[in-house]
Amino acid sequence: MEINDICKCEVCGNIVVVADVGGGELTCCGQKMTKLTPEIKEEGGAKHIPIISKVEDGINVKLGEVPHPMEEDHYIKFIILTDGEQTYRVNLKPGDAPEATFKVTGDAADYKACAYCNKHGLWPSA
């Protein structure tokens, strides 16, 4: 495990972001949690790959060149932004816009982002 690894319980759906590595095994519902690995395939990327840009209020992360659906059965659950030292997260729900603006300083190039789609998993910024 590493800091900011994301794990999911395949039984109940709990999702955990690792804040500190202690050396143990993450379990939930009596089973080992699955470490989510970012998707790097092109299929679906137009709707899932986070696009990072500098805006007046900070850094904006928008999902895909084509807006991602935000419906009850298919939506982005959260967006995470990191500069390697600090980590920021916004939780989303159906009906929200598939984007978030983080009130941080710096250039867009200083940050990486990932987003979690409830159907298609974890997607990193390019």
Domain of residue 30: give its range: 6-35
Q: What is the pLDDT of residues 21-58, one digit of tens each?
A: 988 899 999 999 999 988 776 666 678 899 999 999 99
Residues 31 and 51 in one domain: no
What's this model's pTM, rounded to 2 decimal places?
0.89
- In terms of DSSP H, where are the helices of the chain? 45-48
Residues 17 and 60 in one domain: no
Computed over every residue of the chain, the mean pLDDT equals 92
Q: Does residue 2 have a pLDDT over 90?
A: no
Q: Is residue 1 part of a domain?
A: no
Q: Tokens 């789609």 identify what position?
A: 117
Query: What contacts 15, CB < 8 A, 6 or more positions away?
Result: 6, 7, 8, 9, 36, 77, 116
Task: Determine the Cα–Cα distance for residues 103 and 123; give it in Å rounded to an integer.
Answer: 22
Q: Is residue 40 part of a domain?
A: no
